[in-house]
A and B are shown apart, each in its own frame.
Chain A
Amino acid sequence: MEISMEKPIDEVIVLDNIIDLSLKKTPKIAVSNVKVWYDDFQAIKGIDMEIKPNTVTAFIGPSGCGKSTFLRLFNRMNDYVDSFKMEGKIKIDSKNIYKKKINVEELRKEVGMVFQKPNPFPKSIFENVAYGLKIQGIKDKKFIKERVESSLKQVALWNEVKDNLNKSGLALSGGQQQRLCIARTLAVEPSIILMDEPTSALDPISTAKIEELIFELKKKYTIVIVTHNMQQASRISDYTAFFYLGALIEFDKTKTIFTNPSKEQTENYITGRFG
């Protein structure tokens, strides 16, 4: 009798713990007082932000507001710009990614990126997805094959290309190319996926497919997406950040931003009065 009484209580405690954990989860990405300059031009003017794991965060704002620059800080893609200079801290999983000792290549395996224009390599579909594994020095052909298949399945491209894996990635349609690029990113199993206007070069049907995909991917990955499309931000994101002239004007739950923003600038932008 005693045992059967105790068991349910135990379960409740465990469940409680899970709920507690998910609420208090440490941020996946923590940004504190980040400033960025290109030569004398200050592109980012002191931003703080915390991004929770397994959420979709949308960055919105007019062109040139610094949202893409900010996004590219997370996988250090700005490092290639000669005039780039940065101050402040960005922690991913509590590790400062701008410390000297950080291995940038390791960081980028953890933080994948999908670009504005689909940019498959001029190689076969298979090689496109396998590339990330190849550069890690993985030679196990069976493992690579399985990973390619599972990655293509995750982006719902497998059925469309499984008979043509040796065809050039460039022979696919724009929407398929972008899904291929996402699959390529998934193949290295990152925990964060950065997307820089991933649907701006795609037609509405392909866009819808990518949005569905983002919704699915959220279960396993933390997603940060830059978009110019307000409806897209409101459809797919949990949190929205509004940038203007290099500053973070407002950052809140997407629902709040779109129904009850606290700043006038935000409201003006999302209602289309400027930007």
Chain B
Amino acid sequence: MNSIQKNRLKDQAFKYWGICCTCMGLALLIIFIGDILIDGIQRIDWGFITSLPSRKPEKSGIYTALMGSIWILFFTTIIAFPIGVAAGIYLEEYGKKNKLAGILEINISNLAGVPSIIYGLLGLEVFVRIMNLGASVLAGSLTLSLLILPIVIVATRESIKAVPSSIKDASYALGASKWQTIWYQILPASSGGILTGVILALSRAVGETAPLIVVGALAYVPFAPESPMDEFSVLPIQIFNWISRPQHGFIENAAAAIIILLFITFMMNGIAVYFRNKWQSKWK
């Protein structure tokens, strides 16, 4: 066998290995989703979504947890979005590119990889205890904001970096100030990428359990939150709670709630993909 044949063989071998790996990932996902659907789909109806939690599995619903997740999502967005985007703009456009900036950049990327329970501990200490917010929606949102800030900052910087420098040059050459260039050219051109990053970060936040448990989210709240200072539960915690119950009915409920949580994350990722495509086509 000469070297050309050898290379061709390697090429083929790697191709089939790659196909196997891809199929394995896909197969696991399909089995998982299929299993969940079989267990939970018949449990989903309007009553399930609008009912309060109960001791009887067939009567209990996800209303409080769903509303809790929506409240948390809302406040996390309005906290993390402006801070993260502003920090990203600063680092990319205003901050000097020196050694300190390099260290800062590495650390922000590292922060994105810190286990979420550590953010939970930080949130417990700073927001729940020192700021005395208690186990409230606000404390939970602030904690999750910390968790996703690095992701938002990195996404913002990447999208701003992707704006061709020729656009900036053109704007400056017409007498635009830095702020005008950022506001009228850079942000509109990078908004698709920034939005994608923010939505992906939020879809991660909506599935987070550990930091919220540490902050003190409850497995059972009788009412949906009505203000940012109220106690709350979220979907993942509700699911976790139901799975740990012995009755079979609760397992069904958990599966149904997982379907709804998955639906929310898929929707958010879908929106993110939509923005990304729309944004990319603009530059062609």
Answer yes or no: do A and B interact.
yes
Q: Chain A interface (Cβ within 8 Å of chain B)?
A: 75, 77, 80, 82, 105-109, 112-113, 115, 117, 119-123, 131-132, 134-136, 181, 184-185, 188
Cross-chain contact B169 with A108 (CB below 8 angstroms): no
* Residues of chain A with a CB closer than 8 A to B164's CB: 119
Of A80, A121, A135, A136, which is within 8 A of B167 by CB?
A: A121
CB closest residue in chain A, given B284: A170
* Residues of chain A with a CB closer than 8 A to B185's CB: 121
Cross-chain contact B189 with A135 (CB below 8 angstroms): no
Of B97, B166, B171, which is within 8 A of A131 by CB?
A: B171
Main secondary structure of the interface of B (DSSP, over half): helix
Q: How far is the CA of A86 from the CA of B191 in the complex (A)?
A: 36
Judge if B103 is at the interface, Cβ distance under 8 Å: no
Cross-chain contact B170 with A181 (CB below 8 angstroms): yes
Cross-chain contact B184 with A131 (CB below 8 angstroms): yes
Interface residues of B in 137-182 (CB under 8 A from A): 164, 166-167, 169-177, 180
Known contacts A119-B164, A121-B185; A108/B175 CB under 8 A? yes
Known contacts A119-B167, A134-B184, A135-B184; A82/B97 CB under 8 A? yes
Of B166, B173, B282, which is within 8 A of A108 by CB?
A: B173
Judge if B283 is at the interface, Cβ distance under 8 Å: yes
* Residues of chain B with a CB closer than 8 A to A117's CB: 166
* Residues of chain B with a CB closer than 8 A to A122's CB: 167, 188-189, 282-283
Interchain nearest-CB distance for B118 vs A (Å): 36
Q: How far is the CA of A75 from the CA of B174 in the complex (A)?
A: 10
Cross-chain contact A119 with B169 (CB below 8 angstroms): yes
Cross-chain contact B189 with A136 (CB below 8 angstroms): no
Of A75, A123, A134, A136, which is within 8 A of B173 by CB?
A: A75
Known contacts A105-B176, A135-B180; A115/B171 CB under 8 A? no
Cross-chain contact A109 with B172 (CB below 8 angstroms): no
* Residues of chain A with a CB closer than 8 A to B169's CB: 77, 113, 115, 119
* Residues of chain A with a CB closer than 8 A to B166's CB: 115, 117, 119
Cross-chain contact B173 with A113 (CB below 8 angstroms): yes
A-B contact count (CB 8 A): 65
Q: How far is the CA of A107 from the CA of B175 in the complex (A)?
A: 7
Of B96, B174, B177, which is within 8 A of A184 by CB?
A: B174
* Residues of chain B with a CB closer than 8 A to A120's CB: 170
* Residues of chain B with a CB closer than 8 A to A135's CB: 171, 174-177, 180, 184
Interchain nearest-CB distance for A105 vs B (Å): 5
Q: How far is the CA of A134 from the CA of B185 in the complex (A)?
A: 12
* Residues of chain A with a CB closer than 8 A to B167's CB: 119, 121-122
For B, the interface residue count at a CB cutoff of 8 angstroms equals 21
* Residues of chain A with a CB closer than 8 A to B180's CB: 135
Interchain nearest-CB distance for A246 vs B (Å): 22
Interchain nearest-CB distance for A56 vs B (Å): 19
Interchain nearest-CB distance for B203 vs A (Å): 27
Cross-chain contact A82 with B96 (CB below 8 angstroms): yes
CB closest residue in chain B, given A137: B180
Q: How far is the CA of A185 from the CA of B169 in the complex (A)?
A: 12
Which 5 residue pairs spanning A and B have beta carbons closest together?
A: A119-B166, A113-B173, A108-B175, A109-B175, A132-B174
Contacts A77-B173, A131-B174, A135-B177 known; 12 new A-B pairs at CB < 8 A: A105-B175, A108-B172, A108-B174, A108-B175, A109-B175, A117-B166, A119-B169, A122-B283, A131-B184, A132-B174, A135-B171, A136-B175
Q: How far is the CA of A181 from the CA of B174 in the complex (A)?
A: 10
Interchain nearest-CB distance for A69 vs B (Å): 14
Interface-central residue, A113, A120, A122, A123, by most chain B CB under 10 Å: A122
Interface-central residue, B171, B172, B174, B184, by most chain A CB under 10 Å: B174
Of B170, B175, B283, which is within 8 A of A188 by CB?
A: B175
* Residues of chain A with a CB closer than 8 A to B171's CB: 121, 131, 135
* Residues of chain A with a CB closer than 8 A to B177's CB: 105, 135
Cross-chain contact B283 with A112 (CB below 8 angstroms): no
CB closest residue in chain B, given A134: B184
Interchain nearest-CB distance for B183 vs A (Å): 10
Of B97, B174, B176, which is within 8 A of A112 by CB?
A: B174
Known contacts A121-B185, A131-B184, A135-B180; A115/B170 CB under 8 A? yes
A-B pairs with beta carbons under 8 Å apart, 25 shown: A77-B172, A80-B172, A82-B97, A105-B175, A105-B176, A105-B177, A108-B172, A108-B174, A113-B169, A115-B169, A115-B173, A119-B169, A120-B170, A121-B171, A121-B185, A131-B171, A132-B175, A134-B184, A135-B174, A135-B175, A135-B176, A136-B175, A184-B170, A185-B173, A188-B175
Q: How far is the CA of A105 from the CA of B180 in the complex (A)?
A: 11
Interchain nearest-CB distance for A135 vs B (Å): 5
CB closest residue in chain B, given A122: B282
Cross-chain contact A188 with B174 (CB below 8 angstroms): yes
Q: How far is the CA of A120 from the CA of B282 in the complex (A)?
A: 12
* Residues of chain A with a CB closer than 8 A to B283's CB: 122
Interface residues of B in 97-141 (CB under 8 A from A): 97
* Residues of chain B with a CB closer than 8 A to A107's CB: 175
Q: How far is the CA of A123 from the CA of B171 in the complex (A)?
A: 13
Q: How far is the CA of A119 from the CA of B174 in the complex (A)?
A: 12
